[in-house]
Amino acid sequence: MNELPQHSQALVARLLDAYCARICPPLARNTVLIGYRIEGEQVVIHELRRILGVAGTWEPVPVARFRYRSSSGGWLLDYFENGVWQRYRPLLHSKSFLELLREFDRDPAGIFWSRLDGKSLRWCSARGRCIDCDLRYKQVLGLAAPLAAAVTLI
């Protein structure tokens, strides 16, 4: 099995650290967690579910898999269904990991988040994302300027 280049691995880890921290706000972390692991040329996002409801026990349940292809320098996105990885068809491949992460977050086909017990963690309330949460999501996904750049001095 080939390895993801170290510089790419560090960038993906940094991006997913920020993404998972944003998805799982501190108030909800006792209920559900989203995490990831990097193995070779694969990055797997998983939900950590309590085992039989016992506090302090967690079982990783795969949600999405990003596969790097060193031959093409591109990424593929898969979803986990009935114990088998399936190819995500709406966006077959991309040269950008970030583009696929945005697609995973958006989930226009309802393939990823509908399978999570903690699907509501993407939102700060039952009514959806507030303006602050939406801005933070966009910053993590590179769709908005960082907070420091958004602040102007008088």
Residue 35 lies in a domain: yes
pTM for this one?
A: 0.75
Q: How many domains does the chain have?
A: 1
Buried/exposed 83-107: b ≥16 CB within 10 Å, e otherwise: eeeeebeebeebeebebbbbbbbeb
Residue 103 lies in a domain: yes
Q: What is the pLDDT of residue 149?
A: 46
How far is Cα 78 from Cα 64, in angstroms, rounded to an integer?
6
Residue 140 lies in a domain: no
Q: What is the pLDDT along the chain (154 residues), one digit of tens a residue?
A: 578 889 899 999 999 998 887 776 665 566 667 899 999 999 999 988 777 777 777 888 899 999 999 888 899 999 999 899 999 998 888 999 999 998 998 888 878 876 666 555 555 555 556 777 677 667 766 777 765 544 444 4
**Helix-then-strand count for the chain, H and E:** 4, 5
Residue 70 lies in a domain: yes
Residue 133 lies in a domain: no
How far is Cα 8 from Cα 11, in angstroms, rounded to an integer?
5
Residue 149 lies in a domain: no
What amino acid is encoded at 28 in this protein? A
Query: Are the CB atoms for 85 and 79 separated by under 8 Å?
Result: yes
Residue 11 lies in a domain: yes
How far is Cα 79 from Cα 104, in angstroms, rounded to an integer?
10
Question: How many other C-beta atoms can be found within 10 angstroms of the C-beta atom of residue 56?
Answer: 7
Q: Which structural domain range is residue 111 located in?
A: 6-122
- Cross-strand pairs, 125: 128
Helix %, strand %, coil % of the chain (to 5): 35, 30, 40
Residue 52 lies in a domain: yes
Q: What is the pLDDT of residue 92?
A: 83
Q: What is the pLDDT of residue 147?
A: 54
- Give the model confidence (pLDDT) of 31-63 as tens digits: 667 899 999 999 999 988 777 777 777 888 899
